[in-house]
């Protein structure tokens, strides 16, 4: 289905996200025919650009990131416009009114407007108020939707305050809180795997599942984002949003149908069931750490404290591992081990469902564990691991696997996360956007961790290029378990 005709207004148009992700996503949607000719993009920022210079910048970005060229690139760029605005001054937003009107007239977009806040978070409360001061939020003529980038707040209190601020000018149905993990094809596939296969449904609970592992590993460091990252850390940057959303997809109850409300009701419900962590729980179930200088493949890699923009005494965690539980009938007593970190050996996001073993060992040697590995990225796929007889005498078993890889599908041209989510927002489908109650539940769960961190001393250290500190191994070893050490690619052949 195509997007509805609309004018997309991007605040923060001179920023990194706009030229690295948003414009390329819109270009690709246009290229594959998911945008009609009736759309326009109005870039807004403080920089004194004009339509021509903005087009030139975006054109260069598309050539660099998308290898775009030819008539398609020219046609797409002709839909781009720019308006310089002092985004923290309500009076200056007056300049937007005639520009947006003119674009609606020119492209017959019936007043439909999608605002995208790709700005520093300090403007997330300001922009809606300034838009409202000029009536740019009302839905009398066409719909008005506003996309909010993460982070939605800095902690429970500020997230709540931000919600109140935005809700003063936009109703919940107009607000699209983007979490790009929900736009990933394999995260959505988790829902299809779970809810369209009778095979898994009876097994997906505490009776058959021993524990669940969720890993969000990155091999890169903080690169040139040290300034931002230091105020955020792994907990706010990856865990509070992306990984808790993945956890919700794994653990939620089946919605009666897939639409924005029923789906988001279930997500919020399960997040509200996360077992609240006390300071005592955290002593035993949480590990925070920071990477230090090391040699990787013969090259010296800087430690976190040597990264640009990071204060030399920073205590920000670049790694976290947590054992948590969900207090409901389906999951009571099943541990969820979640870890994420920068400068780990490989970039991989995956969920591993560890099934219980047989009730009684029939063969002398213990059989391999049954596992379902859901690889979110890279090399997206699903792998079922189980034991079969080793050829030859006796009854020894060995682990074999049944693998599905997305790359093997006939048409692997998947939409990227931003393409999918921008398209959904333009169609008015909020299913894959975070609703206020879910965001609130995530912060409520994370707040004790933030408090705990503020109270304790230095975080642990781990060498860049390793799987984190030994304390994380000890955390999972308490139950006689070990973290899976995934490689960059899924196993190809048994």
Residue 236: DSSP 8-state: I
424 binds ligand BG6 per the rule CB under 6 A: no
Report the distance separating Cα 312 and Cα 169, nearest Å.
Answer: 41
* CB closer to ligand BG6 out of 77 and 247: 247
Does 317 contact ligand BG6 by CB under 6 A? Answer: no
Tokens standing for residue 384:
């079922």
Least separation in angstroms between CB 103 and ligand BG6: 30
Q: How far apart are CA 267 and CA 272, in angstroms?
A: 9
Q: How far is the CB of 234 from ligand BG6 (least distance, A)?
A: 9
Among 163, 218, 281, 424, binds ligand BG6 (CB under 6 A): 218
Structure tokens at 252: 């939620």
Closest CA to 119 of 7, 182, 44, 65: 44
Q: In what order do the strands lie in the sheet with 209-217?
A: 397-405, 381-389, 371-377, 348-355, 209-217, 336-341, 319-324, 286-292, 460-463
Q: Which of 104, 242, 354, 440 is catalytic?
A: 242
Binding to ligand BG6, residues 100-159 (CB under 6 A): none
Q: How far is the CB of 404 from ligand BG6 (least distance, A)?
A: 21
Told to check if 237 binds ligand BG6 by CB under 6 A, we report: yes
- Tell me the HSE value of 80 on the side-chain side, using a 13 A CA sphere: 29
Q: Are 164 and 249 in contact (CB under 8 A)?
A: no
**419 is a site residue for ligand BG6 (CB under 6 A):** no
Of 178-197, which residues contact ligand BG6 (CB under 6 A)? 180
Q: Which of 326, 295, 267, 338 is nearest to 466 (CA)?
A: 295
Q: Which residue is nearest to ligand BG6 (CB)?
A: 237
According to DSSP, residue 155 is labeled: S
Residue with smaller CB distance to ligand BG6, 349 or 370: 349
242 is catalytic: yes
Within residues 327-386, the interface with ligand BG6 by CB under 6 A covers 349
Closer to ligand BG6 by CB, 266 or 380: give it: 380
Q: Least separation, in Å, of the C-beta of 150 and ligand BG6?
A: 6
**By the rule CB under 6 A, 307 interacts with ligand BG6:** no
Quote the strand ranges of 271-325, DSSP E: 286-292, 294-296, 299-301, 319-324
Q: How far is the CB of 477 from ligand BG6 (least distance, A)?
A: 27
Interface with ligand BG6 (CB under 6 A): 180, 218, 237, 349
Q: Which residues are catalytic?
A: 242
């Amino acid at each position: 289905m195509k997007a509805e005709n609309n004018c997309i207004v991007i605040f923060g148009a001179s920023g990194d996200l706009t030229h690295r992700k948003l414009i390329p996503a819109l270009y690709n949607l246009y290229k594959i025919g998911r945008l009609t000719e009736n759309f326009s993009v109005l870039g807004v920022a403080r920089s004194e650009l004009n339509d021509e210079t903005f087009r030139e910048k975006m054109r260069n970005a598309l050539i660099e990131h998308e290898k775009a060229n030819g008539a398609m690139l020219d046609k797409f760029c002709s839909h781009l416009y720019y308006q310089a605005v002092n985004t923290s001054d309500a009076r200056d937003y007056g300049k937007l009114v005639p520009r947006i009107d003119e674009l609606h007239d020119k492209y017959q977009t019936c007043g439909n407007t999608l605002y995208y806040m790709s700005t520093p978070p300090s403007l997330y409360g300001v922009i809606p108020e300034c838009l409202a001061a000029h009536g740019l939020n009302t839905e009398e003529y066409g719909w008005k939707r506003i996309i909010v980038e993460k982070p939605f707040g800095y902690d429970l209190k500020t997230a709540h305050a931000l919600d109140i601020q935005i809700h003063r000018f936009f109703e919940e149905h107009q607000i699209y809180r983007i979490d790009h993990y929900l736009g990933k094809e394999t995260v959505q596939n988790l829902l299809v795997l779970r809810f369209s296969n009778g095979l898994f449904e009876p097994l997906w609970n505490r009776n058959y599942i021993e524990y669940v592992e969720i890993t969000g590993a990155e091999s890169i460091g903080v690169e040139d984002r040290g300034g931002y990252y230091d105020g955020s850390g792994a907990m706010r940057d990856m865990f509070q949003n992306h990984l808790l959303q993945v956890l919700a997809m794994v653990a939620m109850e089946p919605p009666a149908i897939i639409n924005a409300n029923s789906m988001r009701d279930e997500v919020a419900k399960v997040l509200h069931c996360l077992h609240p962590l006390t300071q005592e729980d955290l002593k035993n179930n949480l590990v925070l750490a920071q990477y230090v200088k090391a040699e990787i493949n013969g090259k010296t890699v800087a430690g976190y404290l040597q990264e640009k923009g990071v204060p030399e005494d920073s205590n920000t965690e670049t790694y976290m591992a947590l054992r948590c539980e969900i207090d409901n009938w389906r999951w009571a007593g099943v541990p969820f081990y979640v870890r994420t970190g920068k400068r780990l050996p490989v970039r991989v996001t995956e969920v591993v469902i560890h099934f219980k073993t047989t009730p009684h060992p029939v063969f002398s040697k213990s059989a391999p564990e049954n596992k379902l590995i859901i690889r979110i990225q890279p090399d997206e796929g699903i792998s079922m691991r189980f034991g079969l007889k080793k050829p030859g005498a006796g009854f020894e078993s060995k682990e074999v696997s049944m693998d599905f890889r997305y790359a093997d599908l006939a048409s692997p041209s998947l939409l990227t996360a931003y393409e999918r989510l921008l398209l959904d927002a333009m169609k008015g489908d909020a299913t894959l956007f975070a609703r206020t109650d879910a965001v609130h539940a995530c912060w409520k769960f994370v707040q004790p961790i933030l408090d705990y961190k503020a109270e304790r001393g230095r975080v642990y250290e781990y060498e860049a290029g390793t799987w984190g500190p030994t304390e994380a191994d000890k955390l999972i070893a308490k139950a006689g378990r070990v973290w899976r050490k995934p490689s960059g690619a899924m196993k190809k052949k048994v």
